[in-house]
Chain A
Amino acid sequence: MTIALYIFAAASLAVSAMKSREKTILALKKAWKAFENILPQFFSILIIIGIMLATFTPRQISGLLGQESGFTGLLIAAMIGSITLIPGFVAFPLAAALLQSGAGYMQIAAFVSTLMMVGIVTLPLEIGYFGKKAAIARNAAAFFFSLALALVMGVAM
């Protein structure tokens, strides 16, 4: 998918350059400015994730999320998912490994869902773009939706 994105961006850039050099240069300048704007937050987020993932091991996490952990385990899973920020291609194998080492489906669904939809670490960044109210409302709604989703998954799987 990333490769497709590169091809698409390169093709768009080529078409743009053929139509107007000035506009293309302006577009690249704008691209750089938008990127440079969020660079400090990006770097900070990366370090926070690094420290967190280095501190907690998958075995520690799956100990908390066993099938018998019930509602407490569900809440813990949702909170871990909300705080941590793990790229999807790491998260799904991790979730599969946690399931194999004894975690429950309900807890894993809550973890996966909050991981992707709720972002506590990135909240300051989100507030910067959308304001406090919108950012908190979106994250809170996503959190409760994830709990509901997990309950359904726990029954259905």
Chain B
Amino acid sequence: MKPQIRNQLKRYRFFLMLAAVNLAILAFFPETGRKSVTITGSNLLEMLSVIPPIFILLGLLDVWVKRETMIKYMGEGSGIIGVLLAFFIGSAAAGPLYAAFPVAIALLRKGSKLSNVFIMLGAWSTTKIPLVLFEASALGLKFMLLRLGMNILGIAVIAYFTEQVLSKEEKELICQKASLS
């Protein structure tokens, strides 16, 4: 086998294993199996529908935004502007939290502060604008507002805590890894 193909197979090893498990479920418990395939299919469509613009914007950000600009607005010493910008990027996004990880890495690579990146992740996970509106319609305005208020505080606390846990070397390692990817 060509090394290239072998390498690809290795990357997709876990996925192939899971696909085999799903096929086994389909064979032995047809009803559950069919349901899981349907759910996986609709989730795949949802993912494919939100992901292209995110990654195109990421590519453009990488090519056009200068490192100095990013450092100025989101780097060390960017202060409240950086925090607000991080909140805004996360809240204006679409897509699941795991789509935010590549965005976080791109921001880091361009020189954003680690704590701002964690704030962006927090906002992405729970204060996304369309979701907040949807939450109000499904669970009521009171439920939504209470949760939103606590979340804004919580996101800051979680970001601060995560940064405090890391040593200076560990933070540098994360940034270094980001700059290599």
Contacts and interface: CB of A to CB of B under 8 A. Distances in A.
Interface of A: 1-2, 5-6, 8-10, 12-13, 16, 23-24, 26-32, 34-35, 37-38, 40-51, 53-55, 85, 87-89, 92-93, 95-96, 99, 105, 108-109, 112-113, 116-117, 119, 122, 125-126, 129-131, 133-134, 137-138, 141-142, 145, 149, 152-153, 156-157
Nearest to B53: A9
A38 B15 CA distance: 12
Nearest to A146: B154
A125 B57 contact: no
B165 A145 contact: no
A29 B63 CA distance: 10
Interface in B6-45: 11-12, 14-15, 18-19, 21-22, 25, 32-33, 35-40, 43-44
Given A55-B32, A134-B162, A125 B98 contact: yes
Interface string B100-135: 011011100000000000100110011011110011
A50 B98 contact: no
Interface residues of B, number: 79
B14 to A, nearest CB: 5
B58 interface: yes
Contact of A92 (B55, B96, B134): B134
